[in-house]
A and B are shown apart, each in its own frame.
Chain A
Amino acid sequence: MIDALQNLTIAWFDPSLLMLVALGTFAGIYVGAIPGLSVTMAVSILISFTFSWDVYEALSLMVGIYMGGVYGGSRTAILLNIPGAPSAIATALDGYPLAQKGLAGEAIGLSTTMSAVGGLLGILVLAFAAPAVSEFALTFQPRDYMLLAILGILLVGSLSGESLTKGIFAGALGLLIGTVGLDPLTAQERFTFGVVELWGGISFVAVMIGMFGVAEALIQLRELEMAAVKQTISRIVPRWSDVRKYLPLSLQTSAIGVLIGALPGTGGDIAALMAYDHAKRVTKDPDVPFGEGAKEGLVAPETANNAAIGGAFIPMITLGIPGDAVTAIIIGALFIHGLNPGPMLMIEKPDMFWFIVGALLLANVFMLIFGLTGIRIFTRIVEMPRAVLIPLILMLSIVGAFAVNNSITDVYWMLGFGILGYFMKLYGYQVGPVILGVILSRLIDENWRRAIISDQESLPRLFQGIVTSPLSLVLFIAVVLIFVSQTPLWAALMKPFRTKRTPPPDA
């Protein structure tokens, strides 16, 4: 225990490690905020950059970037309606409307605080329940991943805006985009038209930058002359009553974040969207409707995506199995530094575990500090003249799409989806479901096929497997319930109850 405490605090009392975590977190916020820079990219560059460093130093910087980067995505989502990272897509839904009301400062303050709450909860689970959680995550079978992904795609219902049909179209389009390229399981070409550059598929970051960045910039061009919304920044640190009010919700959404983060193959982006959907479901009477600046819609994804960080480290440290793309790279970094990431790491080098937990805690604190200061400068971005801002956004979009995989093809896709997204936005199609579809496409496709192959191509056997496994059964029931609750059937069933619940007019 003393040992653990000692290792936990290594980074706290060593000035150079402390500085590196701070530097990483600070840089991470900007990496996350700029749509073309991703944490994955930053961390992989750091592998080479920190090659000759001590492993603690390298990890301090990486952990800081990771924490700051996941949080930083919310900045541009709130201020510009352009999520800086995939995990901030849901944040834009209610964050941007708040900024349009001149409440950007308050929105950033709340998202910062709640990110820290989520981050902290994720770290606590990592510190005290890592082995149990990773064993649980390992019990997920292909069919469970498939059910989880189907549960995810049902979120289209919450993301569709005014027309469910258009939302379904957008979601299916996303699923289709996700299948382009060489099939990862059979190397069969799908929608590649014989073009080698399409074999790798369409990068979903390119789709995201196009649909959110370019499309949004083009939309805002139509209101070039309109004066920017003046931001009042009287309140940044959220009221204690607010924090308390959202605490129960944030506990639930953090739990979603930790679990989704801990599952190998799913990360903060899916967690944030699921948490948003959860918030919408459990919040009976939001002060402001969702989509128009509901604070619950901001709290949920921001707690979940930061909680997913702790979650992603769980299988990584206990078993050497990455929980998401960033932890996969950190595993590579540990290897290069002469460590052997795997199930033995916890036994041979328990100090690594506690050091990472300590560094994460520290990064969480720095995130809170840097997040709550300097907001004034950040909100200036929205007040910049659009004529200067928009060309910059467009150029960043191009550089960013290129940087994902150093491919000019991704730039063309990004532009194509930018134009498509522009028209979709104009004609009342939401672009959120498209991204959701792209993120979930491979998860559904591959696990569906694995599940059905494992059961000898027999649907009855697959179904039998689902009802006889408790985990699969729970997921299956959730899928059915959510599906039914979104179709007209449910509304008809609930009608007699709902009329009673209509609040009486103000007396």
Chain B
Amino acid sequence: MNRKLMGAVVAAILAAAPALAEFPEKDLQGIVMWGAGGSTDTVMRSVTPHAEEVLGSDVIIQNMTGGVGAIATKYVFAQKPDGYTLLLGAENPQLYKVMGLGELDYSDFIPINVLARGVPVIVANNDAPFDTFTEMVDYVSAHPNEVKFGTTGPGGLPSTVTAMLSSKLELPVTEVPYDGDGPAITALQSGAIHVVPVVMGVAIEHVKAGRVKPIALIDVEPNPLMPDLPPITEEYPDFATYLPWGPFFGVFVKKGTPDEAVEKLKEAFAAGAENQEFKDLMAARGYSIMNISGDEAVQFLEKYQSVTSWLVHDAGIAKTSPEEFDIPRP
């Protein structure tokens, strides 16, 4: 009874509404897969206001944390593919399959925009008895299991970079797990760990202040923010097969979203990524703007998945082989 009444009221209101304009007709919902204040959250909250101007509607940002982002991914996938629910995510879903965290990844979504990519650096405690990557490798082989490496849960940047290193080098270290790269860089300064691979944005301010020392840049070319730090490929060209590699941030909608909505969203977030203010913010933190969508984005996502899945598989921390999911070896 009540329900019928409600329906009638709603129908009456809708009938009286001004002719419905094109997408978006109402506010959008943006689901951030990591917590408030984290890097994914801050990147998304700094790009959306610019996208909102193009859309002419608000994007209500909500954080839905847990399960390395799997809960948010599953939630967005469960919504209607109408373009009103955006997944504001990081690189994590590309590893869910091999990590046994479900069957979803970004191939179930349409990339609206892969906004930016981070560059990993390896930083060490100031008191550590080595100043360059080569010195570290020598020291580690001379003192097996004495050097403490900070890592995160499997699939996190520190654990993937460590896997990358151990795939080409003999590296007997003690891996001490942390919740994320923020807590890890704190622990680095307390001396609880000696070395940690993190994304440049997390380390940059601590490096500038001289509280930690950078010892390797995991990239193929030098970075303007740390011009004195040689890329790892200079001394270890083997790593070039994996690089450039780095965590990324992107905006996604579920597959099956109407083209009209997808195009509008692409236009909006491309404008957001183009915005000078946003570009400056990202540059200051060492993120490279990508601003790609469509096939280009799909290719990027697939390459990331293939490199990373096989790395964690070869390091022995994957639950299922990438072969099972037809993920090609890089």
- Cβ–Cβ contact B145 & A456, under 8 A: yes
B153/A200 in contact, CB under 8 A: no
What string of 1s and 0s marks CB contacts (under 8 Å) between A37-50 and chain B? Answer: 00011011001100
In the assembly, what is the distance between CA of A453 and CA of B151, in Å? 12
Binary flags per residue of A120-162, CB closer than 8 Å to B gives 1, else 0: 0000000000000000001111100000000000000000000
Q: Is the CB of A341 within 8 A of B205?
A: yes
Contact B64 A187 (CB under 8 A): no
How many A-B pairs have beta carbons closer than 8 Å: the answer is: 159
Interface bits B267-280 vs A (CB < 8 Å: 1, else 0) = 00000000001001
Residues of B within 8 A of A40 (CB): 36
Does A328 lie within 8 Å of B37, measured CB to CB? yes
A340 within 8 A of B: yes
Q: A322-B37, A335-B281, A456-B174 are in contact. Are A187 and B99 (CB under 8 A)?
A: yes
B66 contacts A200, CB within 8 Å? yes
Chain A hits for B288, CB < 8 A: none
Is the CB of A107 closer than 8 A to any CB of chain B?
no
Checking B66, B70, B183 against A405 with a beta-carbon cut-off of 8 angstroms, the contacting residue is B66
In the complex, identify which listed stretch (A73-81, A177-185, A481-489, A499-507) lies at the interface while the others stay far away: A177-185
| Interface range for B | 35 or more
Q: Could you tell me the distance between the alpha carbons of A356 and B158 in the complex, rounded to whole angstroms?
A: 33
Main secondary structure of the interface of B (DSSP, over half): mixed
**Chain B residue, CB-CB nearest to A196:** B74
Hey, what's the 0/1 contact readout for B29-66 against A, CB within 8 Å counting as 1? 00100011110011001101100000000000111111
Report B244-288 CB contacts with A as 1/0, cut-off 8 Å.
000000000000000000000000000000000100110011000
Instruction: For the complex, give the distance between the alpha carbons of A40 and B36 in Å.
Output: 8
Contact between A336 and B42, CB atoms less than 8 A apart:
yes
B71 within 8 A of A: yes
Per-position binary interface string of chain B over residues 177-198, scored 1 when its CB falls under 8 Å from any chain A CB and 0 otherwise: 1110011001101111100000
Chain B residues in 8 Å Cβ range of A321? 182, 186
Contact assessment for B145 and A187 in the assembled complex, using a CB-CB cutoff below 8 Å: no
Contact A201 B177 (CB under 8 A): no
A-contacting 9-mer, from B8-16, B18-26, B129-137, B206-214: B206-214
Q: Is the CB of B145 within 8 A of A141?
A: no
**Residue of A138, A141, A330, A331 with most partner-chain B CB within 10 A:** A138
Is A283 an interface residue, CB under 8 A from the partner?
Answer: no
Q: Are B191's CB and A141's CB within 8 A?
A: yes
- Chain B nearest CB: distance from A320 CB in Å? 6
CB-defined contacts of B64 to chain A, threshold 8 Å: 405-407
Whether A454 and B37, one on each chain, are in contact in the complex, defined by CB atoms closer than 8 angstroms, is no
B68 contacts chain A at the CB level, 8 A cutoff: yes
Across the interface, A200 reaches (CB within 8 A) one of B41, B65, B155, namely: B65
| B49:A454 contact, CB within 8 angstroms | no
A47-B36, A187-B153, A340-B205 known, 12 other contacts, Cβ within 8 Å: A43-B36, A48-B61, A181-B67, A185-B177, A185-B178, A185-B179, A196-B70, A199-B67, A199-B68, A446-B177, A450-B177, A456-B174
Can you list 15 residue pairs at the A/B interface with Cβ under 8 Å?
A141-B190, A182-B101, A182-B153, A185-B152, A187-B68, A187-B154, A197-B71, A264-B186, A329-B37, A332-B42, A333-B37, A340-B205, A406-B31, A406-B62, A406-B63
